[in-house]
Amino acid sequence: MQVILQEDVEKLGARGQIVDVSPGYARNFLLPRKLAIEATSSTMKQLERIRATLAKKTATEREAAQKQAELLAAVTLRFARKAGENDQLFGSVTSADIAEALVQQGFQIDKRQIQLVDAIKVIGEYDVAAKIYQEIAGSFKVVVEKEA
pLDDT in tens, 100-132: 999 999 888 889 899 998 899 999 999 999 998
pLDDT on residue 133: 83
Between the alpha carbon of residue 101 and those of residues 13, 56, 69, 109, 139, the distances in Å are 32, 31, 16, 10, 14
Spell out the domains of the chain, with CATH numbers in brackets. 2-45 (3.40.5.10), 70-146 (3.10.430.100)
pLDDT in tens, 38-78: 999 888 888 888 888 888 988 898 999 899 989 999 999 99
Q: Quote the longest CA-to-CA distance of the chain.
A: 69
Which residues lie closer than 8 Å to 32 by C-beta, 6 or more apart?
Answer: none
Collapsing DSSP to helix, strand or coil, 92 comes out as strand
**Is residue 144 within 8 Å of residue 88, measured between CB atoms?**
no
**pTM, 2 dp:** 0.71
pLDDT in tens, 3-45: 999 888 888 998 888 999 999 999 999 999 999 999 998 888 8
pLDDT on residue 79: 94
